Amino acid sequence: MIAICIGHSRKISGRYDGGAYSEYLKISERDFNLKVATKLSAELTRKGIPSKIFDHYAGNGYGYAMADIAEQVKKAQATLAIELHFNSATPSATGHE
């Protein structure tokens, strides 16, 4: 089973972190990647590969959220985990992270 994890899915003050926001697409990183995950999961299902989307990480801080998602993936007995992200930068950015 493939775990498809959506980055920036922990709540801060009652709202999802959301991640970067695309002014061009008018959508947050989390919301965009939920759409990608849904399509990816459907394609995996079509090919007979089971998957599950994880779109909520509990915990008050980053470390706790990562421990929570790791436990969720472990309980689901996933053999592979993918976490979806995109980043933002200024037009003058060069290189990579």
Q: Determine the pLDDT at residue 95.
A: 59
pLDDT of residue 1 exceeding 90, the answer is yes
Phi, psi dihedrals of residue 51, rounded to the nearest 5°: -150, 165
Helix (H, G, I), strand (E, B), or coil: what is residue 25? coil
Per-residue confidence at 8, pLDDT binned at 50, 70, 90?
A: confident
Radius of gyration of the chain, Cα coordinates, nearest whole angstrom: 15
pLDDT of residue 63 exceeding 70, the answer is yes
